[in-house]
Structure 1
Amino acid sequence: MELHFPILLDGATGTELQKRGYRGGISAEQWVLEHPDAITDLHNNYIEAGSDVLYAPTFGANRVKLEEYGVFNQVPEYNRRLAKIALDNAEGRALVAGDISQTGKFLKPIGNTTFREMLEIYREQAEALEEAGVDLYAVETMTNLAEARAAVLAIRQISDKPIMVCFTCEANGRTMMGNDIAAALVILQNMGIDAFGLNCSTGPDQMLPHIQRLQKYAEVPLIAKPNAGMPKTKNGETYYDCGPEELASYVKDLAAAGVGIFGSCCGSTEEHIRAIHRELQNVEFLPPHPDFQGKIPLATEKNLYLLPTDLEIGKIYPCDEHLEDSCEEAEEDDEALFMTIELKAEEELDHLEDFQYAISLPLCILCNDASLLEQALEIYQGRVLYAGDLPEEELLPLANRYGLVI
């Protein structure tokens, strides 16, 4: 599918379901299945207001989140049924995105989940959404790069449809897990996603500076789906004070910063979407045009680096039980722009998994086994530089899938 910009997404789902009677206690997904008229009314309102894309109400329909509400072994059924409701509501008037968000799980050694387990959780949901016939995928409200990577890889295992990814960040441009959103952009756009941006957590005024920073590195269209301001409380009730016209007044500046996909999040209504739609009639989409000035964009999970193209391999560290000490040594080397580790055996992957969060410099992997290299690229959450003698035909799939720099 080819996307044509600008694109207008829908507005809030959660806060609008609350207006229609959702009070918690059960998952929002279960409530929607029991009250399908609520989401049908909401979707119709958004289409009439100008939305080009509806989000299927599958935000928390992964195994982990459903089980928190006592729903077991129903991920395929829930996702198929929820997506069908959205597709029926769209009736060819809008596209439907399979909505995927966080599990809340953390990778070892911080948590007790392996990347393969996380990948399987997302694949289960993506398979059901693909079977239901969604038009594209929206991976949204992400704060953990590992989960975003797992979701993207899972989708790509079963579909070549467009993938949009949105993070939510703090005022410092980092997620609550400490991931730099610019690093996340570079990693994920080189994994083949079709658009990247921000949603939730802030109003348009606070989101704009982060979007402007992302524009410097974006090779894909950017997404802006801000809240209708920051949530406030009055008389025990939560409200959002950014009205439709105020939110829409940021469309021109967001478009100038490379945003090609617009929408709104918590606290917004169909009136916000209608106001954005009006503004979009007067703006022109600017295709991405980053200028890396002959630099190679690499990233750890936490930070983005632009390295010169004439790199030379320095000291090579073994991927062994002393990897954490090696990371400290490499960081203390004032001349080292990146760290190179050598992988020779599968058992060494355990050390990479245990100590990858100690790697603070961009990573280069020296390896001459394509299967071993791919396993390492799954585990490591940054964008990697390759050194070794593998032929191009074995490296290109890894470059396309994981963003490996060859």
Structure 2
Amino acid sequence: MDIDLWSPRLVAGISAGEDGEFPASRDAMLARFCRAKQRGADILATPTGHASQVLLQKAGLEGEMEQINTTFTQLTRQAAGTHGLVAGTLAPAGLELEPYGEASFTELMAIYRAQGSCLAKAGVDCFLVETSSALQYARCAVLALRKLKLPILASVRLDQDGELRHGGTALNALTVLQALGVSAFGLRGDYDREDLEEMVEGLAQMAKVPLMVQPAKYRMEGEDLCPLTQEELKAHCNRLMELGATLLYCAAGGERLSVPAQAVKEFAAAGKRHRPAPSDPDQVVLADAWEIYDMDYDRLELGPPLPCTADMSSVLMQQESGGFDVVRIRIDSPEDAQDFAQNEYMAHLPVCFLSHDEISLKLALMLYNGIALVDSQSSLPRKTLEKIAAKYGAVVY
């Protein structure tokens, strides 16, 4: 389904722990969604953030994933009506990824895809990947869901310092996820009004996809966070729209939902519309999970190819101290791709993969939590390299 997400819209959803009490019954949930729709919500997000097979199994609901996701989608569709849109919500699935936990990237992809398939079958118009606290989880979900051919709205949760749990900033996450082809990028977190407005203004200068922003609830007064008044919230929502937000996200049960709804309505009525940020053809933007690197394409100096081992700390440090712009990694096998994935957090420069094996290169790019270069000195045809690189947001060099 083709959805114009550059058109200003209000997104409303129900998140346990963020929306007061989670509705105790189907009727209560439907009533809350209907109120959100009446107050101006354009997109309703299904309350399925905790409906992955892993979390349902922990709750004693093993085998009921399809039924639960279908039921919640149908209920949300009922409230959205004929002209409203329904986003299928997927949240962190309850597993910790390697190297911090025991779950592999492909295992987590399978979990996201299984739930996404249920939501797509139930008739959602798009996916909402909610509140990933680390970039690798958002990447994993996006890569899993792309095969289902629906727009993906991907949001990250930031702490009060504006960073993700395992490091990295909103700008870093935006850069990586828009390279993977998300349809919108979202921000959520408990920050104050001025910090959020400053963040949105900075992101808008790099955003090639619409920005979805959850308005702040607070303002700083000295060292204290104070709730925004009705008038302050109105001014804040208007300011977010002016600075670059296209979509505002709010809790469906929020009593002040009409305030952001009015901001969206007025922005659209004035004929205002944000556009993708321009690109510089002479620059290449690379990234890892923590930093972005805006570099001159014609002046990159790559280090010599490094073989992959279980412990690459010393060779990575040597290449970083050698004055190179990019660390070059030789990928000869799927095992090499796995080894580098375990070591990538020690690479404090952008990465270029040199591989003569198509499967190994695909795996290395899939596991790499950033935007990499692909070395054109590979024996693989350039068209093959470009096709593989495009799938993972990489750049053939």
Shift of 1:65: 2.5
* Structure 1 residue 354 corresponds to structure 2 residue 342: yes
SS of the residue 2:218 aligns to: coil
Correspondence for 2:125: 135
Contact kept in structure 2, 1:227 and 1:268, CA below 8 Å: no
Alignment of 1:203-352 (within 5 A): 203-229=192-218, 241-265=227-251, 268-269=254-255, 270-280=257-267, 281-282=269-270, 284-292=272-280, 294-310=282-298, 311-333=300-322, 335-352=323-340
Identity of counterpart residues, as a percentage? 28
Q: Distance in 1 between matches of 2:163 and 2:340?
A: 24
Q: CA 1:205–1:395 in 2, change beyond 3 Å: closer, same or farther?
A: same
Q: 1:366 aligns with which of 336, 354, 357?
A: 354
SS of the residue 2:146 aligns to: helix
Q: 1:8 aligns with which of 7, 10, 35?
A: 10
Q: CA 1:173–1:351 in 2, change beyond 3 Å: closer, same or farther?
A: same
Alignment of 1:167-206 (within 5 A): 167-206=156-195
Shift of 1:278: 4.8
SS of the residue 1:9 aligns to: strand
SS of the residue 1:316 aligns to: coil
Shift of 1:167: 1.1
Alignment of 1:54-73 (within 5 A): 54-73=44-63
Q: Distance in 2 between matches of 1:67 and 1:361?
A: 40
Q: Distance in 1 between matches of 2:169 and 2:101?
A: 20
Contact kept in structure 2, 1:200 and 1:266, CA below 8 Å: no
Shift of 1:73: 2.5
Q: Distance in 2 between matches of 1:68 and 1:273?
A: 36
User: What are the Cα deviations for residues 239-291 of structure 1, in whole angstroms up to 9, with x where unaligned?
Assistant: 98224442231233323332111232498333334443454344712212245
Read off the aligned partner of 1:252 and give its amino acid letter: N
Contact kept in structure 1, 2:132 and 2:155, CA below 8 Å: yes
User: What are the Cα deviations for residues 178-230 of structure 1, in whole angstroms up to 9, with x where unaligned?
Assistant: 12221111111111111112023235433111112212221111111134338
Read off the aligned partner of 1:163 and give its amino acid letter: I
Superposition RMSD in Å: 2.5
SS of the residue 1:93 aligns to: coil
Q: Distance in 2 between matches of 1:338 and 1:317?
A: 12
Q: Distance in 1 between matches of 2:252 and 2:351?
A: 38
Q: CA 1:82–1:363 in 2, change beyond 3 Å: closer, same or farther?
A: same
User: What are the Cα deviations for residues 146-194 of structure 1, in whole angstroms up to 9, with x where unaligned?
Assistant: 110111011112x222111111213433112212221111111111111
Shift of 1:401: 2.2
Q: 1:37 aligns with which of 27, 30, 38?
A: 27
Q: Distance in 2 between matches of 1:209 and 1:65?
A: 36
Q: Distance in 1 between matches of 2:31 and 2:60?
A: 27
Q: CA 1:286–1:350 in 2, change beyond 3 Å: closer, same or farther?
A: closer
Shift of 1:307: 1.4
Read off the aligned partner of 2:151 and give its amino acid letter: P
User: What are the Cα deviations for residues 9-35 of structure 1, in whole angstroms up to 9, with x where unaligned?
Assistant: 12664468635xx4xxxxxxxxx5x61
Correspondence for 1:83: 73
User: What are the Cα deviations for residues 306-349 of structure 1, in whole angstroms up to 9, with x where unaligned?
Assistant: 1110124332211123422211112222x211100111123223
Q: Give the gaps of 5 or more residues in structure 2.
A: none
Correspondence for 1:385: 373
Q: Distance in 1 between matches of 2:261 and 2:246?
A: 17
Q: CA 1:378–1:148 in 2, change beyond 3 Å: closer, same or farther?
A: same
TM-score, L = length of structure 2: 0.89
SS of the residue 2:276 aligns to: coil
Q: Distance in 2 between matches of 1:348 and 1:224?
A: 39
SS of the residue 2:185 aligns to: strand
Contact kept in structure 2, 1:8 and 1:277, CA below 8 Å: yes
User: What are the Cα deviations for residues 48-70 of structure 1, in whole angstroms up to 9, with x where unaligned?
Assistant: 11111000111121123223323
Q: Distance in 2 between matches of 1:376 and 1:156?
A: 18
Correspondence for 1:29: none
Correspondence for 2:87: 97
SS of the residue 2:87 aligns to: strand
SS of the residue 2:310 aligns to: coil
User: What are the Cα deviations for residues 41-98 of structure 1, in whole angstroms up to 9, with x where unaligned?
Assistant: 1111111111110001111211232233232232222111111111122121310000
Q: Give the gaps of 5 or more residues in structure 1.
A: 23-31, 232-238
Q: 2:136 aligns with which of 146, 150, 166?
A: 146
Q: Distance in 2 between matches of 1:126 and 1:67?
A: 17
Shift of 1:8: 1.6
Q: Distance in 2 between matches of 1:109 and 1:11?
A: 32
